[in-house]
Structure 1
Amino acid sequence: MQHAVVSREEWLEARRALLLKEKEETRLRDRNRAEREALPWVRVDRDYSFDTPEGQKSLSDLFAGRSQLVVYHFMFGPDWDAGCVGCSFLADHLDGTLAHLNHHGVTLTAVSQAPLAKIEAYRRRMGWTFPWASSHGSDFNFDYHVSFTKEDLAKEKVVYNFTAIDRADAHDELPGLSAFYRNAEGEVFHTYSTYARGSEELIGTLMILDRAPLGRNEDSTMHFVKRHDEYEDAPKLAAACCH
Structure 2
Amino acid sequence: MSTTTSALPPIVTEDEWRSELAALRAREKAATRELDAIAAQRRRLPMVKLPDYVLDGPSGPVRLVDLFAGRSQLITYHHMWEPGAEWQCGGCTSFTSQFTRLGFLDHYDAQFVVVTQGAIDEALAYREKVGNRMDWYSTANSPFGADMDAPAGGGFAVNVFLRDGDAVYRTWHTNGRGTEQLSHTFALVDLLPWGRQEDWQDSPEGWPQEPTYSRWVDPGEIAARYGASSGHQD
Q: Same fold (TM over 0.5)?
A: yes
Q: 1:21 to 1:82 in 2, by over 3 A?
A: same
- How many Å separate the matches in 2 of 1:126 and 1:189? 31
2:176 is aligned, of 183, 186, 196, to 196
Could you tell me how far 1:54 is from its partner in structure 2?
A: 2.5
Could you tell me how far 1:228 is from its partner in structure 2?
A: 5.4
- How many Å separate the matches in 2 of 1:239 and 1:137? 32
- Residue 175 (str. 1) matches residue 181 (str. 2): no
Aligned residue for 1:117? 121
Aligned residue for 1:142? 146
Amino acid of the residue matched to residue 15 of structure 1?
A: L
- How many Å separate the matches in 2 of 1:141 and 1:32? 26
Matches within 5 A, 1:10-29: 10-29=16-35
2:195 is aligned, of 215, 234, 242, to 215
- How many Å separate the matches in 2 of 1:221 and 1:34? 32
Aligned residue for 2:79? 74
Aligned residue for 1:227? 218
- SS for the counterpart of 1:60 is helix
- Residue 3 (str. 1) matches residue 2 (str. 2): no
1:30 is aligned, of 36, 40, 55, to 36
Query: Residue by residue, what CA displacement relative to the aligned partner does 1:142-201 show, whole Å, maximum 9, x if unpaired?
Result: 1122215xxxxxxxxxxxxxxxxxxxxxxx2201100011113x2111101011111112
Deviates most, 16-25 or 134-143: 134-143
- SS for the counterpart of 1:20 is helix
- How many Å separate the matches in 2 of 1:52 and 1:10? 58
- Residue 84 (str. 1) matches residue 89 (str. 2): yes
Query: Residue by residue, what CA displacement relative to the aligned partner does 1:58-107 show, whole Å, maximum 9, x if unpaired?
Result: 111111111111111111133443321001111011122x2011232101
Instruction: Indicate conservation of the 8 Å contact 1:77/1:112, yes or no.
Output: no
How many percent identity over aligned positions? Answer: 32
TM (norm. structure 1) is 0.81
How many positions carry a matched residue from both structures? 213
1:62 is aligned, of 67, 90, 103, to 67
For structure 2, list consecutive stretches of 5 or more residues without a partner in the other structure. 1-6, 200-210
Could you tell me how far 1:222 is from its partner in structure 2?
A: 3.5
Query: Residue by residue, what CA displacement relative to the aligned partner does 1:116-160 show, whole Å, maximum 9, x if unpaired?
Result: 111111111111221110001211111122215xxxxxxxxxxxx
Could you tell me how far 1:234 is from its partner in structure 2?
A: 5.0
Amino acid of the residue matched to residue 42 of structure 1?
A: V
